[in-house]
Copies of this chain bind each other. A is one copy, B any other.
């Protein structure tokens, strides 16, 4: 089921197994952080996520709702999440809605909708 594939992806990110998460993406996967830009290819997704995730000692992506249609060959998954990242005593928390298109058993597109300033404010609180 396409929703289970997305759940596997998210739980791999949460336990720090980015290498496994990347194997669930198609080679030419599009990763679109809507207000900030997109990258293409599983390698580029890895190179985008690895340095970001390395800053945090704990990652939780809480899925409030997840709905889907289709199958592993041609599926659509959307979820509403709170993506949380901890460094020391501080948690960053981002409200996110994500779209995942599944093709031939892999995630071929991952697009997250969120508010850019809500992220940047938390990444650089000292600049407030």
Contacts and interface: CB of A to CB of B under 8 A. Distances in A.
Interface of A: 34-35, 65, 67-69, 76-80, 95-99, 101, 111, 113-118
Contacts of A68: 67, 69
A39 B67 CA distance: 25
A34 B67 contact: no
Given A68-B67, A97-B99, A99-B65, A115 B35 contact: yes
B69 A67 contact: yes
B34 A115 contact: yes
A80 B67 contact: no
A115 B35 CA distance: 6
Given A34-B95, A65-B99, A80 B115 contact: no
Nearest to A69: B67
Contacts of A117: 35, 116-117
Nearest to A99: B80
A78 B115 CA distance: 18
Given A95-B113, A114-B115, A115-B116, A65 B78 contact: yes
